[in-house]
Structure 1
Amino acid sequence: MKHILLALLPLLALLCGCGDDSLSGAVDVARVNIQIERPSDLDSDADVTRGNLSFRNVSSGLTSQWLEGDDISVMPGLYDIDYSAEVRLPSGTVTQLKAARRSVVLPASSTPVNIVMQAYNNRIADDLVIAEVFFSGTLQSSGNQYYGDDYVKLYNNTDHVLYADGITLWESKFTTVDKYNYTPDILPEAVTVQALYTVPGSGTDHPVLPGEYFLLADTGIDHRTINPNSFDLSEADFEWYDVSTKPNNLDIDSPTVPNLDKWYCYTLSFFVLHNRGFRAYGISRIPVDRDTYLRDYLYTYNYDIITEAGVFPMETSAFRMPNEWVVDAVCCSVASRYAWNVVDASIDTGWTHCGTIDKDKTRYFHSVRRKVLYINDNGTPVLKDTNDSSADFNPDCIASEIELQATAADANGTPCTTLTFDGITPVTPDAEAAYRQANHR
C-alpha cells in the first residue's frame, strides 16, 4: 500500500494544482490560441496593456486566468471566455477594451484551437439606461400567477436632461436557454427581436431629468382591484397595448396611461414579458421610420432541431436590431438552464436572473435592478453600467414599485417594509422624498 501511495503522489499533486481548471501538463487537454482584433477606431498611439483572459467552464463553474499571449491549455469542455485590457489614450484618458465569447466548445487536441475575439471600447452611452426589469409578476392569494403588472423602468444616469421620445423597447426572439446554430449568424452585427414598442413624440415631448425614472408598463391600471397582492401602475409614463385578434384574450387599454407606438409583436393576443426571464430586453434609438424598418430589417434564418426522432430543418423570420442602434440591454436567464447570450458581447457580456432554477417559485414579486455605483451630493444615485449584467444588476430583488407602494411581497399579502435604491442599498430618510419624486410616487 505504501508503494502504491508513493506512486500516486505525483498524480495527486497534479490534480490538486488544477483548481483553476487548467491542466497544462496533462495529455487530454484543450489547447487554445486566442487572437484579439482591436477596434478599427482605436487610436494607433493608444497604449494597450497585455490583456487578461478568463476561461470559465460552464459545467463545473471553475475559472482559469491567463495573460494574452500565454500558451493556454484547459480541460476539454464548454467555456465562457472573457478578455479585458486597460487602454491609455494619448489624451491621458484611461479606458478598457473588452471582448467575450460564450458557450465555446473546446475539445481535447494537441493542435491549438484558434479563436478570434473582436475587442470593443467599453464606453458608456450618453442616454437612458435600463434600471429595472420586472418580468416575474405577482401571485394571487390562491397561488396562481397574475399577468399584466410587469414593467420596465428606465433611468437618466447623466447630469443633464434626456428625452425618451423615440426610445424603442424590445424583446429578443432567441432565448438564453436554447442555443442553435442559426444561419446566417448575425450576432456580431445585430440582435434578433420579436417585439418593438416605441415612445412617441417630436423629440422633446418627454423630458427625463437627471436622477429621474421613466416607467413603461404592461397594463397601466391599479392592479390591486383585480389582484390585491399587486400594485398600482395607473400613473406609469407609458404602457404597451395590443389590439388582440383573440376574443378570449383581450388586452386592457388604460384610460390614464398613454400607449407606446406598436411597431411589431409576434403575438396575436397581447404581449407580456417572459415570466421566467429567458430573453434579453433592450432599448434602442432607431434612425428610420416604422415602415422602412419593417420592410428592410427582416431576418430569415435557418437552424436544425435535433431529437431522438431525427433532424428537423427549420426556417423562421424575425427582425434584426443593428447593434449600433442599441442604447442598453440586459440578458436574463437562470443558472440551471443558461446556454448563451443572445446579444453581442459589446452590448452585454453577462446575464442576471430571478430564481435559480426553471419555474422557481421564489421568483414572484422579484425583479432585476441595476446596482448603485455611488450617491451624488444631491441624494440621487449613479447606477453601475459596464455592459455586464452579471456585474451591473442585483438579481432576485423585491420590485421597486412594491417597495414604493408598500404592497404585498408574497402570496400571503405580507406588506413590504423596505425601501431601497437598487434592491440592496437603503434609501435614507432624508433621501426618501427625492427618491419618491424621481419615481413620480
Structure 2
Amino acid sequence: MTIVNNVKSFVNKEGFDWDRPDMTLQIFHPQLEMFFAANGIFFNNRESKIRFIWPVLCALLSLVANSFEIMFIWHGVAIKDYGFATESFCYFFILGSIVFVYFSMLTNRKKIFLLADNLNKDFLFICNLGAHYRHTFLKGQLLIWKLCWAWLSFALFIMILYVGNTLIALLYQSTLATQDEHMVRPFMFPIWLPADDPHRSPNYEIFMSLEIILIFVVFCSFIFYVYILFHLLLHYYNLMDMILIAFGELFDDLDESVVTLPTEDPRRKAVQAELNRRMGQIARWHHSVFESVETISSVYGPALVYQTMFSSVVICLIAFQVAEQLSEGKFDYLFGILGVGACMQLWIPCYIGTLLRNKGFSVGDRCFYCGWHSTPLGRLLRRDFVIFIQRSQEPLAIKFTALPHLQLETFSSIMSSAYSYFNMLRQYN
C-alpha cells in the first residue's frame, strides 16, 4: 500500500508547492525536456552533436528492421501464410513511424525551442495574475501531468506484456516442457530466414535482443511523440480558458459614467486605456493560440500525415489477425491490446482537435455575451468586439499539407476505412 500511496501522491503532486512565485514550465513539467532530449532536442547545450547519436541509431535500426519485415511479408505471401504476412505488415508500419518522428523533430527544432519558450512565458505571466487565473491554469496543467503518466503507463503495460509473455514462454520451455512437445524458442515478433533457422543459437539471441531494443526505441520515439503532441495542444486549450476568464472581468471595477465625458477628458482616457490593455491581452492570447497551433501542425505535420494515412491499414491488419486467431479457437490478446493502442494513438489528436475547434468557437460566443450590451463601456470597444468575433469564426484546426483536419469526424472516417479493408480481407481469405 505504501507504493500505491507514493504513486498516487506523485501523480496528484500532493507535495508540490502550488504557491511558489517562480513557477516555470521546467518546475511543473520536468519530464517534458527529458522527453524532448530523447528525441534529439537539447535545451541546455542546443548545438551539441551528441543529440544526433540516439536518433540516428534508432532510425538506422528501424530501417534495418523494416528491411527484414519486407522480407517476412514476401515470404508470408509466397507460402500463403497470411497471418504471418499480416503481422509483419503491421510491424512494418509501426517501425516506419520512428523515422518520421525523428525527421519532424530534428528538422524543426528551432520551432520547438520557440514553442517551449512561449509555454514557459505563459507559466511566468499567468501564475503572477490573480488567484482565479493561477488556479484554473494550474488545474489544467495538473490534468496534462496526469494524462502524461496515464498514457505512458498504458504504453509501458503493452511493452511489458510483449516482453513478459515471451520470457514466460521461454521459461516454461526451459524448465517444464518435454521433448515430445516439439517447442521452439519463442519470438515477440515473427521471424524467418531464407537459408537458416532463426531459432538456433546465436541467431535467436541476436534477434531476441534486437526485438527488445526495437520495443524500447518505439517507446522512446512514437510514444513520447504522442505525449508531447497532446501536451502542447492541451496547453493552448488551457490558455483559452484564460481568455474566457478575462472576458468575464473585462468591465469590472471601471467607471461607467466616463462614457458621457468628452473624448479628451483624462478620466475617460484612463478608462479607455485600461479597457484597451485588457482587450489587448485577450487578443494577444487568442493570436498566440492560433499561431502556436499552426506551428505545432508544421512541426509534427510529417508524422501526423504518416499517422493518419496508415492508421486505417494498421488497425485493419490487427483486427484481421485477431479475427483469424479467433476462427481457430485462440485469442491473440497481445495483438488485441496493440489494437486498442493503435486506436488510442489516433483518437487522442483527433479528440483534442475537436476540443480546440469547439473551444475556439466558444471564445467567440463568450465575447458576444460578455455583457457589453448591459454597460455603456461596451461602446468603447465596439470595433474590437467585431474584429475579435470575426477572427474567432475561423476554425482552430490542426492542419498540414495532405493532412485532413484532425477532428473526431476524421477519426470516424479512418475507422470506417479500416472496417472496409477488414471486410475485404475477410472475404478474400
TM-score by length of 1: 0.18
Q: Which has the higher strand share?
A: 1
Q: Which has the higher helix share?
A: 2
TM-score by length of 2: 0.18
Which structure has more relative contact order (CA 8 Å, sep 6+)? It is 2
